[in-house]
Amino acid sequence: MPALLPSPLARLYETAMRLGITVLDGAAAIGRWPDDDIAAIVSFGEHIALKPGLDDGLRTDVLAMALIVAAVMGDCPTGHPCAITAPGGLVVISQTRVPQPGSGPGKLATLLARKCGQDTASAAFAYMTPETADPSPWAQWTQAVNHQATTPRHQQADRQGRPLALVPPGVYEDV
């Protein structure tokens, strides 16, 4: 019998991997994080960038929310109550927790986190869908996240030019 994954966070990373969703944990190598209140950025339902420096409890809840967002986002309205319409292909999840999620993605995220063993009252967070056509950093971030997520790790480098394969996991420069 295979060993169980040791933590709720590890179980959520495994879930992302099985779904084919790339998680960039502590995305400092991409560039300056766009805003202190942003906990995660979900790009086209395929890539999740998590803010550097989140503690494991918050990281677990945010990743649960990001996985649900990745599953329910689309570029046009569907009429489904859980669907998120993101015409620019980007959903930004804030660190503002929704204490008692109603029906929708927040409720699903809370259920997912609990199913993975996280003891949380809520894994629901406020989110927004920015327009990527304006001259904001969002278009650049979408491009950078997608490039970083699709480049093999041994070919990636941090902003100082060090190959990421040689940088220990969880070690990122301050920005």
- The domain of 129 spans 8-149
Kindly report which listed range (34-43, 150-159, 166-175) carries the lowest average pLDDT score: 166-175
Q: Please say whether the beta carbons of 93 and 62 come within 8 A.
A: yes
Residue 162 maps to a domain: no
What pLDDT, on a 0 to 100 scale, did the predictor assign at position 89? 84
| Count: domains in the chain | 1
pLDDT digits (tens, 9 = 90+) for 22-44: 888 765 555 667 788 899 999 88
pLDDT digits (tens, 9 = 90+) for 99-119: 988 888 999 999 999 999 999
Mean pLDDT computed over every residue of the chain: 77
- How buried is residue 102: exposed, middle or buried, by Cβ count under 10 Å (0-12/13-18/19+)? exposed
Q: What is the C-alpha to C-alpha distance for residues 98 and 121, in angstroms, rounded to an integer? A: 10
pTM check: above 0.85: no
Q: What is the C-alpha to C-alpha distance for residues 9 and 80, in angstroms, rounded to an integer? A: 28
